[in-house]
Structure formats: structure tokens, C-alpha cells
């Protein structure tokens, strides 16, 4: 066993899963969990150190409360269908004592955790798509404690079967996860005040479990098809991760310099951070479907409360993922992308609306229906073409109606069509307006791609409606009442509604599809550049505004001291790239290089804010490669600045692209030349087609921009 773990530890691509986990409700350094499982898995497992809240793991806390089977996509969403299993020995009666573990000697990797108790005992867990195995060795008799709300287990025919009913939000009040557990030794099961204890006489035990959202019989099938041997399961999980981690090969090729003694950045840690971001980018969304004994794909429809055929996915906010995560998938994992689109369409068919935030079903959070961006980006890149017409019809249908249930569909859709904006009496009216415009752009470009020119013109015209909120006096987007009157006493430092998780600085320049129009409203590129300079150089302060307290995003902007560029959150992801639109791409490169170098690090406080289901990790990956998709659906990327000496990428079309950076020193933050397949290019953007068919891109860096 130790040789396998040592082999995993030696592989730089199998990241320490604790990166970004040292977070609090009040301040986020990622708000991630050390998730163990397989890419897009049905289940994940994570060490629990404090089960009193959704911040149930901290890497500095020594108490070990067990391995938690979890479906939590974010602490803000909370967990569903969860339970915790604690291995312990007779020498440590957990009814009276706590278990502590060695935080430095223990191992956290995507496919295996090895927890070293301070008493010297060892617990090892590995997990595959629907199953897991826990191995526990002790000097006395081994037991397991199962805890969690809404759990019920019984012993039957030499195995343990159970049900878990707990959730943070669901259409079905009886939504159930079925669990099957077996041990490789004799055991007894006891229920003591709602905690279930599995007691054995053995000193080393392998506990195997599997789960299902379909039925008890499906849980049995999921158990039977999973590996019985812990070594085999580690190998199976490793193989699945290698398919994704192996997409990228990062090399540090620059010869050492005498001046490296002054280097303040650990280049090897930067490589490790890159692979950690790859790991994070393929965790979500998670599968919400299973394969039955007849080979059919089946999922549980929580609205109809019945099992249906077909794919379905969960644990994803499309408001978060549409900007970076799905554009990354469009380059390297188009099969995943197509599968997720099928799940999106099934969700539409079952609810009548395209999904916004799923966990496990529609939670109705965040403005707009930005799954439209995900669909449009796929259609314009010829991904999921079989469903393209159906998805376009679903986008149009979802854009033209409202639901009696505010969880579903566009908020204020009728008012938006009638007035061209969402009025200030509705929550987050500016961002709702912006995101509706972006969705209409998505419908327009998808219709154009599919040959529906009249539809395209109609929706592309709608996409300019954000101009109704452009205040010519302040040159910010400002809320309007139903009578068309702008808010008085406007202050761009005020946070909250009419904006989302920010203020006017973070949210006035989010018309990703329409920056030429924005520059026109500013009067000139020079005038818009002045506003960008102001945004970047502004004080990093805030007013609480419509929030009733200081929220973590406020503190993250304030303490970053990067002006009002809140790279800690999605509304600011594209802001460093906007200098491209005023013919100063050199300034974008300078900002991005500084962000990559100074705001991400390979430690427990790894991220500058909420990582959010791979969205921030994908921002890091794309930016480190030297590209950025400012607007999904346009099939183009801004060319930025590469971070690594050499990266080889296995693209989804079978091509291998090499991205090289010459003169790659941390103090060189500008690009001298960009060569694509040996030809120097002046254009600072590249089409999706040209990118995926290129063989080599070379960035040569400079100290002074031009």
C-alpha cells in the first residue's frame, strides 16, 4: 500500500487536494473541499474536521470526525445526501473521546487519502465513480461510526443497507440516497441514539460501500460492478484522472541564472498550482445519472418524483462556469461538454426551463440564464451539433416566458421585453438586464450559426438593451425606475442590488458581447481607457450599500489592493483583458501576469476568492496558457501572456499544441512578439478554429511594453 501511495506522491500531477481549503465564511481563500473521487463523479469523499456547518473541513484543525460522503458544490449551497464514516478502535471509544490526526504526515490526493491518527493508527480511503473502500488498521478491535442527519441503516443478509434523506434544497421532500455497505469480516450493527456503529473483532478491516439515487437494487449493482480490492480501485481512479491530468504537460526549460537567487516565486509550485487547477476544473458538474443492469442511462427526476432515462448533471452554477470552465472544455474535453449539454436539455424537458444553478435540482440562484452562453459557445464551435436545434428552441422558449416559481427561468422576462431593461424595484436589476442581454446575444449567434437569419437579427437587436441603463453623466450602468428615471445620489462604491456581489465598478462593464458599443457611448477609446485606468488605480474600498453586513467579497477586494478589479469573483474575471478594446493589449498582459504571479499560490490559502466549481481554476489555466475567451459564443480568444516555459496540450480534436514562452522571467510582464506556427502575428486575438489547429505558439517577453 505504501508503495502505491509513494508513487502517487511522486507524480506532480496528483495535487494536494487541500489547496484553497483554509477558508472561512468571512473570507475565502477558495472555499474548496479536499475532494476525493473521479472526474464528474456521482459522489465525492472528504475528511470532516467540524460537522457543525458547511465549512466542515479546515486543513489546520486536528480533529478527525471521519470520511464524509459529500455532494457539496460550495459551502454557500450546503450539502445534500451526506453521511460521515469514522473508523476507530476499541482502544478509542468515540462515545467519550475525540479522534485527532497528524495534519502534516497525512496524505490528501484526488484518488487516495491516508489519515495518520495521533495514536498511530492508519485509515486509508479511495473512491471510484459510485463506490469507495476504507481500509483501517489498529492494534485492537476495529469499529466504524456512521453519522449524519436523516440516516437509517439495517443489517440484512450479511450486508448493511441504508437510506439517507437530507438536502439543502429539493423539489422532492423524500429525495433519497440508497447505500450498501459490506465488510471483509464478521460484524454487528448497533443503533445508539441515531448513530450507527459497525463493530468487528478484526484488527484490519476493509469496508466497501456504494450508493445510488435510483433504488436499493441500483445501489447493489453499483456495488457489484466496483472493484473489491482497494489497490484495484486506486488504480481505476488513477486511470480516470490521468485521462484529464495528462491533457497538459508543463515543462520548466529555462536554464538557471545567477540572478535566480532574487526570484521570489517558486516556479515548481506554480506548475503544481496549474495541475491543481486542472483537478478542480474536472470535478464539476457532477453526474446525476447512473447505468442500470440493462446498460441504460437513468436518473431521478425530483420534480416528477420518478426515474427517467437519459443523462443529467448537477452541482453547477452556469452563471459561474459559463465564462471560463466551459470554454476550457470546448478545447480539451468536448465529449464531456456534449454529455453535459444532453443533461441540460433533459433538465429543460422535465422542468420547462433551462437550468441556472443545480444542486441537486434547480436552486434558482444568480441573475439571468447564462446556460445560454454555454449552449451558444458549443453551437458556434460545432460541439453537440445533434442537439443544436433543440437547444436553440429551448433558449428561445425560456427567454420569452416567466414561471410562477421564481426558481425557474428569467427574472422579469416580460418587463425586459416590454421596456428593454429590468426596473429598480426588482432585485439586482442592472445585472439581470445585462445577463438577459448576454443571453439574447447567445440566442442570436446560435441562430446565425444554424441559418436562422431573421431570428438572429431579432435577438442580436435585443442584446443591445443594456444601453438603456448607461448613464451618460457618470458613464456607469445605473439602475432606473419604471418611469425611466436614473437613481439619484449614485455612488460607484455602493455594493449590492442593483448589482450582483459587487458595485458599479465590477458590474458596469459586463457586456462581453458589445464592447464596441460601450466604447462608442464613452465617446472614444481614449475616454474608455481613462475609465479602465481609474478602475485599476481606484482605492480598494467599498460601501456596504444594499447589503446589511460586510460580505467576504468586499473584504477580498479591499485586502487585494488591486484597485476595483475584484479578481476574487466572476464579475471581474474579464476586466484585466479590456485594454484590448482600447488598443493597449500590453496593459492587459501586465495586469494578467501580475495576477497570475501574486494572487494564486500552491498552499492552503491558494485562491484570491471563491473557486466556484472550476471557474476560477479555469481562469488560471486559460490565462497561464496566454488566451482568454472574453465572450463565449464569439469563437475567439484574446491572446494574453504565457506563464510557463513550455506547455503541451492534447486538444479534443486530436491535435497537440505546444505553447512556449521565451525570455520567461518573472520581471518580464510584456509581450514583444507572438508567433503562431513560425509566423509573427500582429493581431492580438485568435479564432477557436485557428487555435485548435495550430501546432506551436511562441510568446517572447519584454521588460517594457509596446
CA distance linking residue 354 with residue 345, whole number of Å: 7
pLDDT value of position 1: 60
DSSP 8-state symbol, 510: -
DSSP helix/strand/coil, 105: coil
Which residue positions in the chain have pLDDT lower than 50? none
CA distance linking residue 94 with residue 143, whole number of Å: 10
The vertex-556 CA angle with 407 and 281, nearest 5°, equals 60
Residue 476 and residue 490 in contact, taking contact as beta carbons nearer than 8 Å: yes
Rg, C-alpha atoms of the chain: 26
pLDDT value of position 95: 58
Comparing CA positions, the residue from 319, 341, 313 lying closest to residue 40 is 313
DSSP 8-state symbol, 351: H
At 133, list the grid cell: 473502500
Residue 250 and residue 647 in contact, taking contact as beta carbons nearer than 8 Å: yes
pLDDT by residue (tens digit) across 324-368?
999 999 999 999 999 999 999 999 999 999 999 999 999 999 999
CA distance linking residue 223 with residue 209, whole number of Å: 7
Q: Are strands 316-317 and 44-48 parallel, antiparallel or unpaired?
A: unpaired
Residue 667 and residue 621 in contact, taking contact as beta carbons nearer than 8 Å: no
| Kind and range of the H or E run holding 454 | helix 453-462
578 burial (CB, 10 Å; 0-12 / 13-18 / 19+) is buried
**Dihedral Cα 307, 310, 314, 318, nearest 10 deg:** -140
User: 525-537 vs 515-522: helix axis angle to the nearest 10?
Assistant: 100
Q: Concatenated DSSP letters for 193-226? A: TTEEEEE-S-SEEEEEEEEESS-HHHHHHHHHHS
CA distance linking residue 606 with residue 608, whole number of Å: 7
pLDDT value of position 455: 97
DSSP helix/strand/coil, 679: strand
Alpha-carbon separation of residue 374 from 371, 431, 438 (angstroms):
5, 18, 11
Q: Residues of 221-238 as b/e, b for ≥16 C-beta within 10 angstroms?
A: bbbeebbeebeebbbbbb
Residue 212 and residue 178 in contact, taking contact as beta carbons nearer than 8 Å: yes
Residue 636 and residue 628 in contact, taking contact as beta carbons nearer than 8 Å: no
Phi, psi (degrees; rounded to nearest 5) at 684: -105, 30
CA distance linking residue 215 with residue 192, whole number of Å: 26
Handedness of CA 352, 355, 357, 361 (dihedral sign): positive
* Residue in the block written with cell 452556469: 318
Phi, psi (degrees; rounded to nearest 5) at 399: -80, -15
* Residue in the block written with cell 472544455: 329
Residue 613 and residue 74 in contact, taking contact as beta carbons nearer than 8 Å: yes
382 burial (CB, 10 Å; 0-12 / 13-18 / 19+) is middle
Residue 686 and residue 659 in contact, taking contact as beta carbons nearer than 8 Å: no
pLDDT value of position 10: 84
Could you tell me which residues come within 8 angstroms of residue 244 by beta carbon, excluding any fewer than 6 positions away?
A: 39, 278, 279, 282, 333
Could you tell me which residues come within 8 angstroms of residue 360 by beta carbon, excluding any fewer than 6 positions away?
A: 71, 80, 81, 167, 170, 175, 213, 288, 302, 314, 315
DSSP helix/strand/coil, 658: strand
pLDDT value of position 258: 84
Alpha-carbon separation of residue 232 from 132, 228, 237 (angstroms):
11, 7, 9
At 695, list the grid cell: 501546432
At 256, list the grid cell: 538557471
pLDDT value of position 96: 57
Counted residue by residue, the chain has a size of: 706
CA distance linking residue 447 with residue 554, whole number of Å: 39
pLDDT value of position 247: 98
Residue 13 and residue 246 in contact, taking contact as beta carbons nearer than 8 Å: yes
Q: Are strands 204-212 and 177-183 parallel, antiparallel or unpaired?
A: antiparallel
The pTM of the full predicted model, rounded to 2 decimals, is: 0.97
Amino acid at each position: 500500500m505504501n508503495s502505491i501511495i509513494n508513487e502517487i506522491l511522486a507524480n506532480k500531477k496528483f495535487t494536494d487536494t487541500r489547496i484553497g481549503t483554509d477558508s472561512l465564511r468571512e473570507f475565502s481563500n477558495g472555499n474548496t473541499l479536499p475532494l476525493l473521487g473521479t472526474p464528474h463523479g456521482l459522489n465525492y469523499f472528504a475528511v470532516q474536521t467540524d460537522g457543525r456547518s458547511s465549512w466542515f473541513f479546515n486543513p489546520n484543525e486536528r480533529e478527525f470526525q471521519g470520511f464524509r460522503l459529500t455532494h457539496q458544490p460550495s459551502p454557500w449551497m450546503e450539502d445534500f445526501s451526506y453521511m460521515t464514516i469514522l473508523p476507530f478502535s476499541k482502544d478509542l471509544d468515540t462515545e467519550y473521546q475525540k479522534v485527532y490526526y497528524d495534519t502534516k504526515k497525512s496524505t490528501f490526493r484526488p484518488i487516495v487519502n491516508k489519515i495518520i491518527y495521533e495514536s498511530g493508527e492508519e485509515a486509508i480511503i479511495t473512491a471510484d465513480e459510485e463506490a469507495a473502500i476504507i481500509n483501517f488498521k489498529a492494534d485492537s478491535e476495529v469499529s466504524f461510526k456512521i453519522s449524519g442527519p436523516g440516516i437509517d441503516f439495517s443489517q440484512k443478509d450479511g450486508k448493511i443497507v441504508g437510506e439517507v434523506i437530507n438536502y439543502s434544497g429539493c423539489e422532492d421532500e423524500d429525495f433519497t440516497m440508497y447505500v450498501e455497505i459490506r465488510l471483509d469480516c464478521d460484524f454487528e450493527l448497533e443503533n445508539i441514539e441515531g448513530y450507527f456503529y459497525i463493530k468487528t473483532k478484526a484488527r484490519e478491516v476493509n469496508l466497501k460501500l456504494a450508493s445510488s439515487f435510483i433504488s436499493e437494487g441500483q445501489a447493489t449493482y453499483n456495488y457489484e460492478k466496483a472493484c473489491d480490492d482497494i489497490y484495484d480501485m486506486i488504480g481505476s481512479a488513477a486511470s480516470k484522472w490521468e485521462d484529464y491530468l495528462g491533457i497538459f504537460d508543463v515543462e520548466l526549460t529555462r536554464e538557471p541564472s545567477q540572478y535566480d537567487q532574487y526570484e521570489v516565486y517558486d516556479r515548481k509550485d506554480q506548475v503544481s498550482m496549474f495541475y491543481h487547477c486542472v483537478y478542480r476544473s474536472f470535478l464539476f458538474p457532477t453526474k446525476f445519472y447512473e447505468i442500470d443492469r440493462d446498460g441504460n442511462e437513468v436518473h431521478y427526476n425530483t420534480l416528477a418524483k420518478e426515474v427517467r432515462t437519459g443523462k443529467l448533471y448537477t452541482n453547477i452554477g452556469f452563471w459561474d462556469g459559463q465564462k471560463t470552465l466551459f470554454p476550457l472544455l470546448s478545447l480539451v474535453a468536448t465529449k464531456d461538454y456534449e454529455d453535459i449539454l444532453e443533461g441540460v436539455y433533459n433538465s429543460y424537458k422535465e422542468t420547462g426551463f433551462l437550468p441556472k444553478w443545480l444542486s441537486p435540482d434547480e436552486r434558482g440562484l444568480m441573475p439571468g440564464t447564462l446556460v445560454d452562453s454555454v449552449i451558444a459557445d458549443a453551437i458556434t464551435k460545432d460541439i453537440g451539433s445533434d442537439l443544436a436545434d433543440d437547444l436553440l428552441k429551448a433558449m428561445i422558449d425560456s427567454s420569452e416566458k416567466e414561471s410562477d416559481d421564481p426558481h425557474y427561468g428569467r427574472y422579469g422576462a416580460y418587463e425586459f421585453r416590454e421596456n428593454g431593461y429590468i426596473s429598480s424595484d426588482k432585485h439586482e436589476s442592472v445585472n439581470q438586464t445585462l445577463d438577459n442581454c448576454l443571453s439574447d446575444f447567445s440566442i442570436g449567434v446560435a441562430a446565425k450559426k444554424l441559418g436562422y437569419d431573421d431570428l438572429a437579427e431579432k435577438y442580436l437587436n435585443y442584446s443591445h438593451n443594456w444601453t438603456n441603463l448607461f448613464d451618460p453623466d457618470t458613464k456607469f450602468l445605473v439602475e432606473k425606475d419604471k418611469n425611466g428615471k436614473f437613481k439619484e445620489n449614485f455612488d460607484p462604491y455602493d455594493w449590492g442590488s442593483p448589482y450582483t456581489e459587487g458595485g458599479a465598478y465590477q458590474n458596469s462593464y459586463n457586456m462581453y458581447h458589445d464592447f464596441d458599443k460601450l466604447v462608442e457611448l464613452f465617446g472614444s477609446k481614449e475616454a474608455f481607457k481613462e475609465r479602465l485606468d481609474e478602475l485599476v488605480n481606484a482605492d480598494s474600498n467599498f460601501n456596504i450599500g444594499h447589503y446589511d453586513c460586510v460580505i467576504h467579497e468586499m473584504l477580498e477586494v479591499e485586502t487585494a489592493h488591486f484597485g476595483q478589479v475584484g479578481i476574487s469573483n466572476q464579475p471581474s474575471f474579464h476586466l484585466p483583458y479590456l485594454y484590448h478594446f482600447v488598443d493597449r493589449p500590453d496593459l492587459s498582459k501586465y495586469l494578467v501576469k501580475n495576477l497570475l504571479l501574486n494572487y494564486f499560490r500552491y498552499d492552503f490559502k491558494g485562491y484570491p476568492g471563491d473557486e466556484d466549481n472550476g471557474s476560477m481554476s479555469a481562469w488560471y489555466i486559460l490565462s497561464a496558457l496566454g488566451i482568454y475567451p472574453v465572450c463565449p459564443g464569439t469563437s475567439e480568444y484574446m491572446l494574453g501572456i504565457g506563464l510557463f516555459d513550455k506547455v503541451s496540450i492534447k486538444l479534443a480534436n486530436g491535435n497537440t499544441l505546444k505553447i512556449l514562452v521565451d525570455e520567461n522571467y518573472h520581471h518580464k510582464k510584456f509581450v514583444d512578439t507572438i508567433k503562431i506556427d513560425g509566423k509573427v502575428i500582429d493581431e492580438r486575438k485568435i479564432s477557436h478554429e485557428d487555435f485548435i489547429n495550430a501546432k506551436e505558439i511562441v510568446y517572447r517577453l519584454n521588460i517594457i511594453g509596446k
